[in-house]
Amino acid sequence: MTTLQTLATLTLLVISGYIAVSVSWSGLLANKRQQHLLFGFTALLFFMWIFRAGIFEGLNVHFLWLTALTLTLGFRWAVLAGLIALVGVTFSGSESWHMLGVNGLIGVLMPVSVSYLIFMLAFHKIPRNLFIYVFACAFFPGAMVIALKMAMMGGYYLWEGFYDWPTVRDNYLLIIPLLLFPEGLLNGMTMTLLTVYKPNLVYTFHDKFYIDGK
C-alpha cells in the first residue's frame, strides 16, 4: 500500500465518518420509503459497477450514475450509498482493497460533490423549470463528473508510476469522449422519469420551483 493510498484511505474514513454521524438514522428507520429508495439505489449501483470494461487493471470504465443518485437522495445519503456500493464491489474482487480510499475519494465523493455543487449553482443562478433541472442538473453534471473522474484516475496512475503516459492515454483517457453522452443521457433519463412519475421521491425536486415557477 503506497503512501498516497494510505492518506486517501484515512481521508475517506474521516469524511465518511463525519457524514455518517451527521445523517438522521432514526429518520431513516422510521421512513420505509426512504429505506427502500436508499437500499434500492445502492443495489443498482453495485450491479452497475460490477460490469466494467478495460484491458489494464485499474483502467476500467463503467457508468457512474452518481448525479442521479445525488439529486434523488441528497448529498450525504448519496455519498453513503456510493461508498456502500464501492465496498460491495471491492468485496466481490472487482476492485483492490488498497485502492479503496482513492476510489472512494475520486469515484464517489468527487462526483457527488460536483453534482450537488452544480445543482446548487443552477438552483440559485439560472431560471428554474423542468428542462433546466433535467439538462443543467442531471445531463450536464453526469457527463462532467465521469470525465473528471477518469481524468483524475488517469492522473493518479501516472503520479504513482503504475502506468506510463501512452498506456493511460491510449487505453483510458481517449475513451472519455465516448462516455460523455451515454452517462449524461443515463442520468438525464433517470431524472426525467422520476420527476414525471415519482417526483415525491426526489430530494432536490419541488413542484413550486420547477413547475409553478415560484
Retrieve residue 45's grid coordinates: 449501483
Ordered DSSP codes for 16-44? HHHHHHHS-HHHHHH-HHHHHHHHHHHHH
pLDDT score for 1: 85
**For range 188-201, the mean pLDDT:** 94
Model-wide pTM > 0.75: yes
Domain count, the chain: 1
DSSP, collapsed to helix, strand or coil, labels residue 12 as helix
Quick: pLDDT tens for 111-153: 999 999 999 999 999 988 889 999 999 999 999 999 999 999 9
Answer for the pair 104, 84: CB distance below 8 angstroms, yes or no.
no
What does each C-alpha distance from 19 to 5, 107, 146 come to in angstroms?
21, 17, 23
Q: Give the DSSP letter string of 128-191.
A: --HHHHHIIIIIHHHHHHHHHHHHHHHHHHHHHTSS-HHHHHHHTGGGHHHHHHHHHHHHHHHH
Q: What pLDDT, on the 0 to 100 scale, is given for residue 35?
A: 94
pLDDT one-digit tens code per residue, 36-90: 999 999 999 999 999 888 778 889 999 999 999 999 999 999 999 999 999 999 9
The per-residue pLDDT for 197 is 92
How do residues 158-172 score in pLDDT, each as one tens digit?
Answer: 999 999 999 999 999
> Look-up: residue for cell 479503496?
100
Please state, as a whole number, how many other Cβ atoms lie within 10 Å of the Cβ of residue 3. 8
pLDDT(208) > 90: no
Q: How is residue 151 written as a grid cell?
A: 481524468
Residue 213 reports pLDDT greater than 70: no
Q: What is the pLDDT of residue 9?
A: 97
Amino acid at 32: K
- Asked whether residue 198 carries a pLDDT value surpassing 80, the answer given is yes
Question: What is the rounded distance in angstroms from the CA atom of residue 105 to the CA atom of residue 124?
Answer: 27
Note the pLDDT of residue 102: 97
Q: What is the mean pLDDT of residues 5-25?
A: 96
pLDDT band at 214 (very low <50, low <70, confident <90, very high): low
Question: What pLDDT is recorded for position 138?
Answer: 97
Of 212 and 108, the structure prediction assigns the larger pLDDT to 108
Residue 154 sits in which domain range? 3-210
Q: Residue 192 sits in a domain of what CATH number?
A: 1.10.1760.20
Question: What contacts 137, CB < 8 A, 6 or more positions away?
Answer: 67, 71, 118, 119, 122, 123, 191, 204
Res 79: pLDDT: 97
Q: Which amino acid is at 74?
A: G
- State which H helix or E strand residue 4 sits in: helix 3-22
3-state helix, strand, coil in the chain (%, to 5): 80, 0, 20
